[in-house]
Structure 1
Amino acid sequence: MSNQVNFSEQSIEKIPLQIVANKEEGAKIIATLISDLIKEKTAQGKKTVLGLATGSSPILIYKELIRQHKEEGLSFKNVITFNLDEYYPMHPENKQSYVKFMWENLFDHIDIEPQNVHIPDGTIEIDQIEPYCTQYEEKIKSVGGIDLQLLGIGRSGHIGFNEPGSAINSTTRLVKLDPITIADAAKDFGNKEAVPTKALTMGINTILSAKRIILAAWGKNKSIILKKMLEGPVSTKVPASFLQLHTDVTVFADKDATDELSRTKAPWLYGMVNWTPKMIKRAVVWLSLKTGKPILKLTDDDYKSEGLTDLLAFYGKAYDLNIKVFSQIRDTITGWPGGKPGAHEKTRPERPEPPVKRSLIFSPHPDDDVISMGGTLLRLTDQGHDVHVAYQTSGNIAVFDDDALRFSTFAVDLLKCYNIDTPLTEEHKKLTQFLKEKKPDDIDIPFVKNIKRLIRQGEAQAACRFCNVKEENVHFLNLPFYETGLIEKKPMSEADINIVIDLLRQVKPHQIFAAGDLQDPHGTHEVCLQIILAALRKIKSEGDAWLKDCYIWLYRGAWQEWDIEDIEMAVPISPDELMRKRKAIFKHQSQKDFPVFPGEDSREFWQRAEDRNRATAKLYDKLGLTEYEAIEAFVRYPLDNEDSFLK
């Protein structure tokens, strides 16, 4: 169910916010608001003027509108639309054009009159842009203005393509795209270099002139910018913050998108709180960091001065509460991620028996294992556990073309050294010609894909050898959903799930490690996790006995880290072990120096991982725990009680 948040001048959030369970629910609510408006205006004999957005956020909204048109008779005959923006230059037939996007995702499936569709023209000559933009504004005014404007929000804070620095009085115009926007668009264009650096967009003033505004924000990667928009000041640095000045705007966000909001981080600032053990831990950690005091030094006055008096009512005094939370965090620390044989303290994260465990580490890409939990992997093999590593995808699209050419040339030259003539020579010629003529959005030919797959596979094997994983324990699953040759992947299928089921039943692990790092910008981590969970649910439903004694641990590290109150196992990493982890990551040479898909973070993956591991250790230190060089953190996934994990 959705959760309508009360909005007042005293609220930390300066724009009305409606939190929904997931984007599917949010899309249905927004689509219904749009359809209700269309029906109301049609009944009055009036046309409905909609401002529309592109990108991932509105796709499900458009699907629901299409469904209502086909199944419930919703008509768009009296609807006029104006789209927010378009890349420049951009031909409407290009697959990345917003013209193509809108027709494929909405207009082709409804009964809208083509003459009522307006999308900025990316083919306008540069010297005609100014009069064209003026005409676009006049067309909006000539139909009475926009009744409802639909928006998404970019990580740069843009609405439309109004990037940081956009003025409140701006109208439709040509703009320069922010580097963050270009990085995010790279997945659609193949690489950053292929993304247009400019765009045509409605201005801030044009958007604010709409009678009603709805903004949709889905996913964790929107959480930081959503906080700035809702809680921060009105500023050109965050163009979406100008929405605070509108009298009829609502933000719809799923739970993941609200992760960074004060209501999530510190809900006690809003009023009554359900003091669950997790919420208590969150509050005490928050107080410790806010006051700069270790947990055991917090006083009753600290709790009272920061609005946490209600929490003391459950414990009577800070002393008892401090010890309880401190002990909970201390008990997450273990140097034995596979369990310490002979140690039977119930507070340890892992069981002591069996003393030698079968540990199955799932790695979405061929390097996530060592990047995110390389120190723990090394600790498991050092302590004699039977470690298996399963690489879920080939990772072939993340290899530079030049590397593929270099390896192909090496193979051909090696054969020439021994006067061996094989069909490989002809394939190499085809590869050379293809790469010479390849365009940014071309899909690699099979020979190129295979070379890139083998490059990633060889690097993963080298890293496993370095970590003392047995050769027969290294599994390359090459899940089918990934093999599109594009950044855009297929949904998970039964074939993907069955491959994972077969491996799980082959290994019968005592513990599973999987990536819970869902801020991977291309979504592969999330799909890989859902495939694992779907496989486990099916195995559970069929009564496999081994699953009852299996712990499922989720790791992060490449893109984000767990919040301290979520961590259930913290594995300390010494300086020497951190260096060993770094060397394991370095085995992935194709990802070294500058990977194909670096995201918005300019650091190399080993640097990101080390910085996050050190930051976690520093956090434990600040809270008054033992000081370590670095820590890798894990959360246990409760397959028997998944709803509790989601909460």
Structure 2
Amino acid sequence: MSRLNLLEETRYEKLPVTVFPDSTAASNSVAARIAALIRDKQSRGEKTVLGLATGATPVKVYKELIRLHKVEGLSFKNVVTFNLDEYFPMQPDAEQSYVTFMKQQLFDHVDIDPANIHIPDGTLAEEDVAQFCINYEQKINSYGGLDLQILGIGRTGHIGFNEPGSAPNSGTRLVTLDDLTRRDASRDFGGKENVPTKAITMGVGTIFKAREIILMAWNLKKASIIKKAVEGSVSSEVPATYLQLSDKVEFILDQDAAAELTRFDTPWLVRDCVWDIQLIKKAVVWLSKTTGKPILKLTEEDYNNNGMAQLATEKGPVYNINIDIFNKLQHTITGWPGGKPNADDSQRPERKDPAKKRSIIFSPHPDDDVISMGGTFIRLADQGHEVHVAYQTSGNTAVWDDDVLRFMEFAIDFNKAQGIDTTTLENTYRESREFIGKKLPNQPDQIAIRDVKGLIRKGEAIAGARFAGLPDENIHFQNLPFYDRQKTNSNVSFEDDIQQTVELLRKVKPHQVFAAGDFADPHGTHKVCFDVILAALQRLKGTEEWVDDCWLWLYRGAWHEFEIHEIQMAVPLSPQEVMRKRLAIYKHQSQKDLPVFPGDDAREFWVRAEQRTAETARAYDELGLAEYEAIEAFVRWEF
């Protein structure tokens, strides 16, 4: 691409942005730049002064730096580091401290001099913090300032812990954390109430003094804030926008984090496009929403006035484009998610044969099935298909501790009423109650407590699946081992998870597999569960004949929905079916009212589910298609 074309394509971007295919490639590139800087400075007998970040974003960078040290001899003896921030108060040996994080992720694996490591002190008395911050700034200056500062970005737009409202010339200081920042950290602390309300952070002004600044961001969860940071106006409401004022900064993104930038999201606004059908569909849906007109009322003037003249010229007349896209969207709608028997299926999302299919719904947590696709679940069962559901994890993390004691007390009283000895159960109850009374934030549960939490969710899932119409023999609990292993070890193998999934698929031999494609799940479980399913299907492909006739459909849960142009199967629900779905969700009583990890959406799960599917139906209606009470959406994954 010529420089002129690149400038045109990125004209909405107010700072340099480099996009990599994935976070691994991006992280390796950043690590290579750090290594080159270290080696260059070492060759001149100088120290390299690095500003380091914590959180999930830089983990792969640190992993590659460790590899470069161990395999390629990169030395850190002349490296001096200053970390951006630390929670306050915070003990350095706490699991959630950034001292612990940096040791585990980098420092314990390279030859850096401990005297050259600087991290804000979370153990200070609050009255001593101001002087510490002054000394921290002076220490950075004593080394001649930062050669390179790496940054992540929070969903509030914070860099370091410079939350909305931070000044562009701010220095190292004690700050109060934004509520969204604390919610995002809640899983590490076992609940938002345990997350510190304050932190010590380098200021925006301190960051600006670095001779080079790299901000990194990965995955779709960061896409919306990246768009604001890169293309929005400079504002204290999004502190990362201050970086637009620097000529030393570069944003390093993966494709998902860059997805909402204009050149990727609406490329027709910045360049000529190669118009395949998917891009045409996206553009026409966008134009309909932008103009507030149904698709069939869009005119040539609408196309020309909204950056789509090239499409009108190459593929027009525009009314033909409108009709084609309208029909394609119309053909996604079906009341037969298992295929309509004895019907022409050439323009239907699912094939008609076999008339009665074997379908398996994989649910990462014990309620994702009914929350995300409960109406379709019930419809498949009502239409006579052999439906199975597989609950991939126990979901035991998301149960309140007092529910454990309540269920244990019930078991003791019930056994006593039956004349059964309760000595062992009472001992377990006392041990559990004592443990819960002294439990530290994010401390792994005892096995007995974990088992009770899992059984609570298992009982709820059985009730929900039975309500949807499944016989007990079609309800499967995988309890994949990675779920509990990851609580104590971040480097886990998924081989036994994959093998267990392979065996279940071999047993069912499904024509349809439904899997959670909602990778915005804040806990990451959905993505792991999907990867396990995909790996299992790929192993079976070519060895089992039924796999060649197996279709993989993705659904999304309570976190967000597919975009209209992405949807390949839209299952409309009547008001009565919406109510049946709600009742199925109600079976999950431990998740009712206030779940342990609600995310940053205050609505109950059943409310989210209903409003999400109603919004999808409304979007179809506004495009000029039929008006439904609700629509559940699916995308087919080619594996």
Task: Name the TM-score, length of structure 2 as normaliser.
Answer: 0.97
Q: Secondary structure at the match of 2:566?
A: coil
The CA RMSD over aligned residues, in Å, is: 1.6
Cα displacement (A) at 1:578 = 0.7
Aligned to 1:362: 362
Aligned to 2:209: 209
Q: 1:375 to 1:504 in 2, by over 3 A?
A: same
Q: Secondary structure at the match of 1:328?
A: helix
Aligned to 1:157: 157
Contact 1:375/1:632, CA 8 A, preserved across alignment? yes
- Deviation per residue, 1:274-329 (Å, 9 max, x gap): 21111110011111110111111111111111111111233231011111111110
Cα displacement (A) at 1:487 = 8.7
Aligned to 1:471: 472
- Deviation per residue, 1:475-508 (Å, 9 max, x gap): 0000000023839766451100011011101000
- Deviation per residue, 1:323-353 (Å, 9 max, x gap): 1111110000000001111112301011111
Asked if 1:335 is matched to 2:335, the reply is yes
Aligned to 2:230: 230
Aligned to 1:452: 453
- Deviation per residue, 1:151-201 (Å, 9 max, x gap): 000111110000111111110000001111111111111111111110000
Aligned to 1:382: 382
Q: Secondary structure at the match of 2:279?
A: helix
Contact 2:10/2:263, CA 8 A, preserved across alignment? no
Cα displacement (A) at 1:136 = 0.5
Q: Secondary structure at the match of 2:187?
A: helix
Identity %: 57
> Which one is further off, 253-262 or 358-367?
253-262
Aligned to 1:290: 290
- Deviation per residue, 1:575-604 (Å, 9 max, x gap): 111111111001000000000010111111
Aligned to 1:604: 604
Q: 1:8 to 1:274 in 2, by over 3 A?
A: closer
Letter of the 1:187 counterpart: R
Asked if 1:103 is matched to 2:103, the reply is yes
- Deviation per residue, 1:443-484 (Å, 9 max, x gap): 111111111111000000000111111111000000000023
Letter of the 2:190 counterpart: G
Asked if 1:527 is matched to 2:528, the reply is yes
**Rounded Cα–Cα distance in structure 2 between residues aligned with 1:225 and 1:4:** 27
Contact 1:6/1:16, CA 8 A, preserved across alignment? no
**Rounded Cα–Cα distance in structure 2 between residues aligned with 1:366 and 1:491:** 22
Cα displacement (A) at 1:272 = 2.2
**Rounded Cα–Cα distance in structure 1 between residues aligned with 2:202 and 2:87:** 12
**Rounded Cα–Cα distance in structure 2 between residues aligned with 1:295 and 1:226:** 30
**Rounded Cα–Cα distance in structure 1 between residues aligned with 2:369 and 2:501:** 17
Aligned to 1:496: 497
Matches within 5 A, 1:612-631: 612-631=612-631
**Rounded Cα–Cα distance in structure 2 between residues aligned with 1:143 and 1:335:** 68
Matches within 5 A, 1:186-205: 186-205=186-205
Contact 1:190/1:487, CA 8 A, preserved across alignment? no
**Rounded Cα–Cα distance in structure 2 between residues aligned with 1:31 and 1:290:** 41
Cα displacement (A) at 1:563 = 1.1
Aligned to 2:587: 587
Matches within 5 A, 1:112-151: 112-151=112-151
> Which one is further off, 433-442 or 602-611?
433-442
Letter of the 1:506 counterpart: K
- Deviation per residue, 1:113-143 (Å, 9 max, x gap): 2111111011111111111100101111111
Aligned to 1:29: 29
The alignment covers a number of residue pairs equal to: 636
Contact 2:187/2:442, CA 8 A, preserved across alignment? no
Letter of the 1:577 counterpart: E
- Deviation per residue, 1:377-421 (Å, 9 max, x gap): 011111111110000000011100011110000000111112211
Contact 1:397/1:485, CA 8 A, preserved across alignment? no
Contact 1:4/1:18, CA 8 A, preserved across alignment? no
**Rounded Cα–Cα distance in structure 1 between residues aligned with 2:289 and 2:116:** 55
Contact 1:334/1:569, CA 8 A, preserved across alignment? yes
**Rounded Cα–Cα distance in structure 2 between residues aligned with 1:306 and 1:313:** 14
Q: Secondary structure at the match of 2:185?
A: helix
**Rounded Cα–Cα distance in structure 1 between residues aligned with 2:97 and 2:405:** 31
Q: Secondary structure at the match of 1:256?
A: coil
Contact 1:331/1:348, CA 8 A, preserved across alignment? yes
Q: Secondary structure at the match of 2:344?
A: coil
> Which one is further off, 42-51 or 460-469?
42-51
Letter of the 2:340 counterpart: K
> Which one is further off, 210-219 or 418-427?
418-427
> Which one is further off, 254-263 or 214-223?
254-263
Q: Secondary structure at the match of 1:365?
A: coil
Asked if 1:435 is matched to 2:426, the reply is no
Q: Secondary structure at the match of 1:31?
A: helix
Q: Secondary structure at the match of 1:274?
A: coil
Q: Secondary structure at the match of 2:541?
A: helix
**Rounded Cα–Cα distance in structure 2 between residues aligned with 1:253 and 1:4:** 22
Q: Secondary structure at the match of 2:515?
A: strand
Q: Secondary structure at the match of 1:632?
A: strand
Letter of the 2:321 counterpart: L
Aligned to 1:241: 241
Matches within 5 A, 1:381-400: 381-400=381-400
Q: Secondary structure at the match of 1:483?
A: helix
Q: Secondary structure at the match of 2:353?
A: coil
Letter of the 2:231 counterpart: E
Cα displacement (A) at 1:264 = 2.2
Cα displacement (A) at 1:442 = 1.9
Contact 1:7/1:16, CA 8 A, preserved across alignment? no
Aligned to 2:68: 68
Q: Secondary structure at the match of 1:512?
A: strand
